[in-house]
Amino acid sequence: MSCASRETPHHTAATRTQRCFTRRAQPKRRPLSQAAAAGQSRRSLLTGAGGGLALAGGLLAVGGVAAMAAAASADPNALVRQGMNKFRDNDVEGSIEAFDAALAARPAIRPYLWQRGLSLYYVKEYQEGAQQFREDVAVNPNDTEESIWTFLCEAQMVGAEAARQQFLEVGRDPRPVMRAAYECFRTGAQPDAILQAARGDQQGHDAFYALLYVGLWHEAHGDAVAAEAAITQSCSTQYAQQSGDYMAALARVHCLRRGWQA
């Protein structure tokens, strides 16, 4: 989500965590309200402080979405972090509750909730997931990951070829792996070029992202065997195991949801 790393130094260990609203290396965070007002990229938004997270966690346990929304009126960022932590724990349904509570408290953040779109994919709410990603691209027309994830959602509804007819085109991505991934999803070309873009990197950031998106390409095209091989391999990279990247957690959740041994 630009949920999906990005592959530059903005993908360091704290990267995707930071990409709380960014998959980049650690930029200085602005409050979500300021970021939304400035039209900042979804991944450059960061969530609030730890105390708010603890409060949101308690509200989740005792009060549900209504109570969370009340707390989020003061700090919806805490609820976004809560949702991200739940997703990492494979409580995808709980993550959506938290994201929806944050959205109810501050509707203006909707185009920046790329994490919500990812969660919706894993509960098979593909139409709502695609809409989430399309709204993101509407405010950030250079968001490669959202373009791809829109396609992934729509391919599950109408098939890869039909989804490609409405593919969201975005600006040229400077990152070789994501640029190659974008072209393979957009054109339907076999994903060998994605692996080629990561050549020379066996365990790092580029290797992880290349394998993840190769696997997602195969899933969109109905090849579960090839998808499993690539995504489980992405989980075994050193980057996936040590980076703390949100997308590394996504790869693991992907495997858990499908009963694959990562």
Task: Supply the pLDDT for residue 171.
Answer: 94
Angle ∠(66,124,98) on CA atoms, nearest 5: 20
**Does some domain include residue 206?**
yes
**Does some domain include residue 2?**
no
- How many folded domains does the chain comprise? 1
**Does some domain include residue 156?**
yes
Q: What CATH number does residue 72 fall under?
A: 1.25.40.10
**Does some domain include residue 191?**
yes
Q: How many other C-beta atoms lie within 10 A of the C-beta of residue 67?
A: 16
**Does some domain include residue 197?**
yes
* Stated pTM of the model: 0.77
**Does some domain include residue 39?**
yes
**Does some domain include residue 227?**
yes
What is the DSSP annotation of 75-137? -HHHHHHHHHHHHHTT-HHHHHHHHHHHHHH-GGGGGG-HHHHHHHHHTT-HHHHHHHHHHHH
Task: Supply the pLDDT for residue 41.
Answer: 37
Q: pLDDT truncated to tens, each residue of the chain (262 aa)?
A: 544 444 433 333 333 333 444 443 332 333 343 344 333 334 444 333 333 333 344 444 445 666 554 554 558 999 999 999 999 999 999 999 999 999 999 999 999 999 999 999 999 999 999 999 999 999 999 999 999 999 999 999 999 999 999 999 999 999 999 999 999 999 999 999 999 999 989 899 999 999 999 999 999 999 999 999 999 999 999 999 999 999 999 999 999 999 999 8
Task: Supply the pLDDT for residue 262.
Answer: 84
- State which residues form the domain around 149: 9-258
**Does some domain include residue 213?**
yes
Task: Supply the pLDDT for residue 133.
Answer: 99
> CA dihedral in degrees (62, 257, 46, 11; nearest 10)?
160
